[in-house]
């Protein structure tokens, strides 16, 4: 009788551990990220300075608490996400609508100062930018190409 109870407890323990393992695996995925890369131009010319920044557009239902940004190099960018949690952070961007802005990082080099491009101020503020993008699973070619103007 005691042996039967131990076997049943053993099976129960295995079942509980299995259920916990399955729930922890399901929860580890976090938010789905998709690759977001493209070109960044100023009046048709490739940019080689600054950053492209995607900020969640709450007016269109994107409530993620994240920032997505990438350095622009030779007219190209490839976004990474900075989130509140580790699962929210990493390469790519969660699905949804984003406001697109330009940011010029602080110039820390005294020897080789960076020349800031003459980008219109409306592209510096997420509340004023006319640019918005929907990040999707299967975007059209060029969907993430960003065109800034003076």
**Under a CB-based contact definition with an 8 Å cutoff, are residues 38 and 144 in contact?**
yes
pLDDT score for 111: 60
Closest C-alpha among 42, 38, 149, 48 to residue 98: 38
Closest C-alpha among 116, 81, 120 to residue 101: 120
pLDDT score for 60: 96
pLDDT score for 27: 39
Q: Is pLDDT above 90 for 30?
A: no
Please give the backbone phi and psi of residue 140, each rounded to the nearest 5 degrees, phi first.
-70, 150
pLDDT score for 70: 95
DSSP codes of every residue in 71-97: E-BTTEEE-EEEESSGGG-EESEESEE
Q: Is pLDDT above 90 for 134?
A: yes
Closest C-alpha among 90, 44, 95 to residue 70: 90
Maximum alpha-carbon separation in the chain: 84
pLDDT score for 118: 86
Mean pLDDT computed over every residue of the chain: 81
Q: Is pLDDT above 80 for 21?
A: no
46: Cβ contacts below 8 Å, ≥ 6 apart: 39, 40, 74, 75, 76
More confident residue, 101 or 117: 101
């Amino acid at each position: 009788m005691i042996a039967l109870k131990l076997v049943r407890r053993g099976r129960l323990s295995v079942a509980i551990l299995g259920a916990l393992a399955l729930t922890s695996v399901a929860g580890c995925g976090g938010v789905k990220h998709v690759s977001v890369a493209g070109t960044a131009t100023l009046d048709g010319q490739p940019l080689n300075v600054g950053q492209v920044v995607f900020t969640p557009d709450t007016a269109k239902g994107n409530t993620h608490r994240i920032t997505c940004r990438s350095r622009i190099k030779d007219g190209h960018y490839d976004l990474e996400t900075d989130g509140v949690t580790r699962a929210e952070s990493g390469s790519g961007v969660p699905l949804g609508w984003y406001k697109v802005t330009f940011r010029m990082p602080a110039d820390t080099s005294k020897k080789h100062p960076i020349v800031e491009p003459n980008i219109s101020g409306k592209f510096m503020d997420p509340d004023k930018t006319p640019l918005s993008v929907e990040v999707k699973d299967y975007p059209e070619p060029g969907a993430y190409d960003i065109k800034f103007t003076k």
